[in-house]
Chains A and B, each alone.
Chain A
Amino acid sequence: MNHVTGLINLHEDNDLIKEVTKIRPIATIPFAGRYRIIDFILSSMVNSGIVSVGIILPNKSASVLDHLRSGKDWDLARRHEGLYYMTPLDTNSRTHPSELRTLYQNLDAMHRNVYDYVLLSGSRSVFNMDFNNALRFHQNTKADITMLYYKNLQKKFSPCTVLQTQETGLVTDIANQPVADDNASVFMDIYLMSQKIFMDIVKYTYERGGSDFLLDGIMRTQKKYNIYGYCHNGYVSIVNSTLNYYHTSMDLLDPQIWHELFLNKFPIYTRIKDDVPARYKADAHVSNSLISNGCVLKGQVENSILFRNVKVDAGARIRNSIIMQGCRIKENAFIENVICDKNVMVDVKKVLKGADDYPFIIEKNTVI
């Protein structure tokens, strides 16, 4: 796949997941104990053999740069190609900052590197897939654009893009909906197309006032192109709301999903931190949980995900919660249905409880 360039768009709507995106885009929300959400798409690209990946940076990009750096941890620090960043160039422009503006401003750079295909993706989907099959599908159907989707198994209440396809895969309708029905074909936010078509769409749409690739670029020009849908069979979750983040995290406690995402032949890469293995002390009691390196456990943990370097003191109890990197839960504190962002300290005997279907969120660096 070295004739494909990956592009990851980090301009994403965070209206429904504001609490953990004050300081970062959705792409760098910590996830699954040691990862950031962007690791899934990035690792899938690398594992599929893509060696050139562009990151379309959003406004809050400090955490993105801190996480990805040279791309070394994804094997993308290369002499030629590798990881590259697309930043907005002209801030005095009359148009609003958007992915299309950044892409348009960086078209020159794309002209210099000639690829056959562009794989354009969002950064908030959790999955582990090989894009080679999608590419073969794209070539066989002679599609102009291939949109990747998955079959939604349960009714999910979070905004999504739903595709209608014919048996051949030809897309007949694209709709933005607030609810994905049972068995709907939900768009994974991943497109495959030739570099030429990609550049044409960016140019044509931006010059006519467009800002969103899907709404202005694809939906408005739908008739012009031959669009096919490729169905990915496997676990997919799009993290676009807080509740969805919580449920997707809890999905990982299903060993099958944990295996599929992390222990199939393609690993998920992330920035390496060199922490010690988790240390369980004599009174630790852990069940049905994911525990990361660097944790020190003296209390009780149940149905929860603990990120790196979380300390659970004696007598503390954690249930159905997500505790991010560097948190400390002190003696006899009790936590249930809670998402603790990084470096939260919960003091002795404090009780924090969220509802089953509405987790309580504690912002980064809070001391309670």
Chain B
Amino acid sequence: MKRVECLAMILAGGQGSRLGELTKKIAKPAVPFGGKYRIIDFPLSNCSNSGIETVGVLTQYKPLELHTYLGTGEAWNLDRKNGGVYILPPYTREKGADWYKGTADAIYQNINFIETCDPQYVLVLSGDHIYTMDYSWMLEEHKMNKADATIGVIKVPLKEATRFGIMSTDKTGRITAFEEKPKKPQSNLASMGIYIFSWKILKEYLEKDSADNLSEHDFGKNIIPKMLADNARLFSYAFDGYWKDVGTIESLWQANMDLLKEKPSLDLGGTWRIYSANPSLPPHFVAPGAKIKNSLISGGAFVEGNVENSVIFPGVHVGKGTKIINSIIMPFSSIGENSVVEKAIIAQNCEITDNCHICSEDGSIVVIAEGKLVMAPDEENKQVG
């Protein structure tokens, strides 16, 4: 194979247990987002737009839908003769088999694959973040700094810093301290889970780490602290655009709502195109009497009711007299007549019949799991009776 300068590895194997019902059947990176996308479209499109054409996607948890979705990588322009998308699930060896035990272990188990690409640099990405970023600038900085590793960082509010890997840097951007989820954060520079490593060095550390039985085989917890302790050249790369970890229901909902702002800080309509596997659907239909305000509506939707501050995915049907407020309706779900859906996430292929009332009393977000049928209470009684 032709030598690859920078190989991207996307960690897409996580269960995303904090997304609860939404990841019962699919892996977190396959969760729909933003009216027509799935979360993994963002790192994949970023790679494609940054000129990185060889991308390994490490999968493990419920990978079927994710694998089907990735296909040949054609949707992201990654069906290349040299390189393209490689789907990398765990596999068996002569002596037994291992699941991916952590982020670092997942990369370690694919050393063979990485060696066939023979890269100078490896870009490690998460499959669960929403942002647009040109990785080629980060790679330039990595080269200029002659760094062993470069970590993408973003400023977060100090009170939220306890959720992230927090680092301190000197004037040149060199990392002087790193702490994973600190109780008393020393700075507000959070790791975005985006790493560029010089491959030779990373390989050494991965091999050492795999031999260490006490290690959790995690980049943030083990590899980075180890490199820092060895005084390796670790640099930060500051990013100041929109970046959101959508690992929880709350943050997933919020990130969708962020797109509805008057001037959204994540501009999906710009030149930095986010690609996705497009269903073959016509423009959406707005029936007479429908009212749509401040919303995103996708192709193939059929809207007869009211939609306000909501994100409507392809093929969704909103019946007459129905109100959808502050909600996210995922592909091919249908909502009958005279129902109310407020502050809810309705997953794919759900059916909400007439006269339903979906909202919580305490203002929390209601989640309806994929493929569910929801009926109004009196309808249900009738059926039972």
Contact = CB atoms under 8 A, between A and B. Distances in A.
| Chain B associates with chain A | yes
- The DSSP consensus for interface residues of chain B is loop
Given A281-B294, A294-B269, A274 B283 contact: no
B282 A33 contact: yes
A293 B298 contact: yes
A158 B312 CA distance: 40
A274 B275 contact: yes
B294 A33 contact: no
A255 B283 contact: no
Interface stretch (B98-106, B241-249, B285-293, B374-382): B285-293
Contacts of B28: none
Interface string A132-176: 000000000000000000000000000000000000000000000
Nearest to B289: A287
A261 B311 CA distance: 25
Contacts of B34: 276-277
B262 interface: yes
A290 B283 contact: yes
Interface string A288-324: 1111111010000000011100000000000000000
B281 interface: yes
B281 A267 contact: yes
A282 interface: yes
Contacts of A100: none
Contacts of A288: 286-288
Give the interface size class of chain B: 35 or more
B67 interface: no
A109 interface: no
A282 B283 contact: no
A262 B282 CA distance: 6
A258 B299 CA distance: 12
Interface string B294-322: 11111110100001000110000000000
Given A276-B268, A286-B292, A291 B283 contact: yes
B273 interface: yes
Interface string A66-84: 0000001000000000000
A34 interface: yes
A272 interface: yes
A270 B280 contact: yes
B282 A268 contact: yes
25 contacts: A72-B74, A255-B287, A258-B285, A262-B281, A262-B300, A267-B280, A268-B280, A275-B269, A276-B35, A276-B36, A276-B274, A277-B299, A278-B297, A278-B298, A279-B295, A279-B296, A280-B293, A281-B294, A284-B293, A288-B287, A290-B286, A291-B283, A293-B283, A294-B269, A305-B283
Interface of B: 34-36, 74, 262, 268-269, 273-276, 278-300, 302, 307, 311-312
Given A268-B282, A274-B275, 11 more contacts: A32-B283, A34-B282, A262-B281, A263-B300, A274-B274, A276-B34, A276-B274, A281-B293, A285-B291, A292-B299, A294-B269
